[in-house]
Amino acid sequence: MRFGHFDDPAKEYVITRPDTPKSWCNYLGSTEYGAIVTNNAGGYSFYKSAAQGRFVRMRFNAVPLDQPGRYIYLRDEEAGDFWSASWQPVGKPLSEYKSECRHGTAYTVISSEYADIKSETAYFVPLGAAFECWRVRLTNAGKTPRRLSAFTYVEYAGNWNSFNDLTNLQYSQFIVRMGCEDGIVDHGTNVQIPPRPENFEDADQGRHTFLALAGAEVAGFDTDRTAFLGPYGSYAKPAVVAAGACTGSLAYGDNGCGVLQTRVDLAPGETKEFTVLMGVGRADAEGRRIRKEFSDPRKVEAEFAKLKTYWHGRLKNFTAETPDAAFNSMMAMWGPFNCLTTYAWSRAASLIYAGERDGLGYRDTVQDLLGVMAAIPAEAAGRLELMLTGQVSTGGAMAVVKPFAHHPGAEMPPSLSQYRSDDSLWLFDAVPAYVKETGDLTFFDKVLPFADKGEASVLGHLKRAIAFNLEHAGVHGLPAGLSADWNDCIRLGEKGETVMVAFQLRHALEVYGEICALLHRDGEGDWAKEKLAALDRILAAVAWDGEWYIRGIDAEGRKYGTHENAEGRIFLNAQTWAVLSGHADAKRATAAMGAVEKYLATDYGVMLCAPPFVNTDMNVMRAVLFNPGMKENGSIFTHTQGWAVIAETLLGHGDRAWRDYRATLPAAWNEKAEIREIEP
């Protein structure tokens, strides 16, 4: 089933049916002020952190998934009929309501037509701004004059810390104080306490956001959720919209909201425009200043155009034109844009993560850099340096680096049981990628601090990463699994050994040797060659299982990912990394990827492992926590498909590589989106 199409010249995805299988979202803004908006105007906004700076409320696992959101309600003053400028939340019958959503480069435009009224709402965050714009255009497509009321709606968090807002109600329900200054809504929390911007993670500080209208007169307001919705009301039928007039409510505790009403009279064929402005700051300061600045629609349009130009410029470094339209759409726009979005926010903001996870996961973020290095090498260098300062002097790394609260040289290092064995080894992909892209060989000699104490050149950081895995090894001499390697559900501990990380370590030693040769550090290069040869001997003796490579060995010597196992007999990552690392000779590489083809490849992509776990000891293979075929228990990870594609390509298996790539290519599922459900 098809819900939309790719508009490649405009760099947009166009949703023509609003009843998508799940809420299809887009990202707005920057790492300073970010927002998620869906095809039905759902989502939330946040400042610096989706977990600790989320001032717009989001309830996860709701039905629909994305409510509440940032809504515009429209009401015909004569007929009393009302609807929303996005299909949801009112949800008029689709036989009567036309809808189109255009997700673009950090903006979304939602258009609708109902009862001869056309609406177009463009959502975006101006470059460098800590506020967002909802540019609203209303057109009378009928033959008679119309009198309308438009109502904004946004639901505020009681506390910017998402955990406090959703669970600590005996606190968060008593700190909101709403106001309306000169027609601008002021959302205040902890208003008796001064702000402490230097200590962002302190949830107990005074904070304000504003909501304003530019280009339209305010006819009324409400800031109390119950007053607006009604005690037994809903987003689909708010009491105030049904009645046609705001009540002037001021929330004092409980739940705040932002409602501004304006009246719009339209002659036949006439269009009128206004802009909703929402952002960080006080109503009587930032709110008033920004409303004045954006009172001219030409200013709004200029900022919107500037945003498009900026993002299209970030995407121009790579283009693709092939006979496959789905491939072109992904490679020319959505692949790079997704990489840039993930680079910005890691896994900290989505309709899945927000609250439980915060900051930049180490291994994730260092890998994410590869996706943007060609597009924004200068910016990527800054992020790369940040992550290098998240490496601990032991050579391991902090699990998470928080850009808004990171203090290199003064961080508490993890305990040995908390380290992941693979974290710092991803630097051997990211650092060379930066140097190759820029030609800046001096980067290897740049001195950066460790997270906890001391400092080293970038080359020194790389050597410490290798040393960490050489020093923490099991009985056979392979790297210890520690709390996890790439697979968080494999817990091999301080004595168990991970074969995937052993291959990564081999790759690291080879890359380190190449760098040393480039820099004429012959002694260092000889050291790397010696360690590499020793590791190859161990891998050849221990890791090969006859048809493929094993995944790991626990502290008691039990092997995982071997033909002897009833569950988890073969793992994808051990086979791909045997090839990527250069360890596997032609015969073993061909056999290992042949086993992947035989046991793991499907029409939907390549499975992580097979058969799934049901009875295996969960203390080692925690994948049994998940249903068979889901998550780490034998599902298909888009992430790992890339490694399979590269491995097959290195072996000259072009047809397999293409098939595996296209099996999980989001755009390739556009015509049957109900199967995959999430965004094409």
Burial of 63 (0-12, 13-18, 19+ CB in 10 A): exposed
C-alpha distances out from residue 624 to 602, 630, 631, 635, Å: 22, 10, 10, 12
**Rounded distance, CA 477 to CA 474, Å?**
5
**Rounded distance, CA 79 to CA 76, Å?**
6
Return the amino acid letter for 335.
G
Return the amino acid letter for 125.
V
Closest CA to 405 of 161, 48, 129: 48
Give first-to-last CA distance, the chain, whole Å: 12
Closest CA to 612 of 574, 573, 567: 567
**Rounded distance, CA 514 to CA 508, Å?**
10
Are the C-beta atoms of residues 482 and 417 closer than 8 Å to each other?
yes
**Rounded distance, CA 47 to CA 50, Å?**
7
Computed on alpha carbons and rounded to an integer, the radius of gyration of the chain in Å comes to 27
- Ramachandran angles phi, psi of 221, nearest 5°: -150, 160
For residue 102, what are the β-bridge partners? 14, 109
Return the amino acid letter for 162.
S
Q: Report residue 452 CA to chain centroid gap.
A: 28
Catalytically active residues, by annotation: 488
**Rounded distance, CA 554 to CA 404, Å?**
38
| Three-state secondary structure call for residue 494 | strand
**Rounded distance, CA 76 to CA 350, Å?**
35
Are the C-beta atoms of residues 578 and 549 closer than 8 Å to each other?
yes
Q: Report residue 111 CA to chain centroid gap.
A: 26
C-alpha distances out from residue 302 to 306, 345, 590, Å: 6, 26, 56
**Rounded distance, CA 550 to CA 359, Å?**
33
Beta strands in 554-676 (DSSP E): 559-560, 570-571, 601-602, 605-606, 609-610
**Rounded distance, CA 134 to CA 214, Å?**
10
**Rounded distance, CA 388 to CA 406, Å?**
12
Are the C-beta atoms of residues 131 and 185 closer than 8 Å to each other?
no
SS (HEC) of 81-98: CEEECCCCCCCCCCCCCE
